[in-house]
Amino acid sequence: MAGFVELFVLFLGIIDPLLSLGVFVRLTRDFSEAERRKTALLAVLVAAVPLIVVIFAGQAVLDVLSIRIENFKVAGGLLLGILGVKMALGQNLLSDGGGNKGVRSGMAVATLIGTPLLTGPAAITTAIIASADPAYGQMLTAFAAVLVLLVSLVLLLLSKRVLAVIGRTALEVSSTILGLVTVAWGIQFIRAGLGF
């Protein structure tokens, strides 16, 4: 049970559904309610497929590429550390600027939210490392990751209401806290990869 809670909190920090919620509201502001629901479902599906694949096939990919899991832990730890620092400092992955003006269709928004926001390099790295760890294994890792994606789906489906209730300040505070947790996990991965 403790291992599941650890993984759930870790994936919650890395996937950061609250960040995706803010971006989702911004990108779907001109969508109808039906389009918004469909886009939310597609986004989580886009996020789930690569995440589940790497959980069950990630070790095989590492073997084919002759990459030792210890080296991958160090690389993943560095990536998590960078992501965590960005989250803690309030640096969004997507800005409010003109970079998203071309995003119009539901599929384009779903792809953008699904990856790299929900399932990005840090989530994929974590999934491979956790599923290869005997303390967690593939099934526990998959269960924790899927549960976080389901939480993400609920938040996206209720995005306007959630944002109205908690406000943007609460989103920023929660992202900062999850960023610190992510940095701590990054350090832990590096230590494990280096053997101390």
Q: What is the mean pLDDT of residues 174-178?
A: 72
Residue 112 clears pLDDT 80, i.e. is over it: no
Is 169 or 104 the better-scoring residue by pLDDT? 169
Is 191 or 80 the better-scoring residue by pLDDT? 191
pLDDT at position 61 is 80
pLDDT at position 44 is 97
Residue 104 clears pLDDT 70, i.e. is over it: no
- pLDDT tens per residue, range 152-166: 999 999 988 887 887
Question: Long-range contacts for 90-93 (Cβ within 8 Å, ≥24 apart)?
Answer: 90/172, 90/175, 90/176, 92/19, 92/22, 92/23, 93/19, 93/23, 93/117, 93/120
Residue 137 clears pLDDT 90, i.e. is over it: yes
Name the nearest CA neighbour of 13 among 75, 110, 81, 73.
81
pLDDT at position 175 is 67
pLDDT band at 63 (very low <50, low <70, confident <90, very high): confident
pLDDT at position 96 is 43
Is 152 or 14 the better-scoring residue by pLDDT? 152
Greatest mean pLDDT range, 71-75, 81-85, 109-113: 109-113
Q: What is the mean pLDDT of residues 69-75?
A: 78
Average pLDDT across the chain, whole number: 82
Q: What pTM value is reported for the model?
A: 0.73
Name which of 9-18, 20-29, 47-56 the model is least confident about.
20-29
Q: Report the percent of the chain where pLDDT is more than 70.
A: 89
- The structure tokens listed for 86 are 């960005």
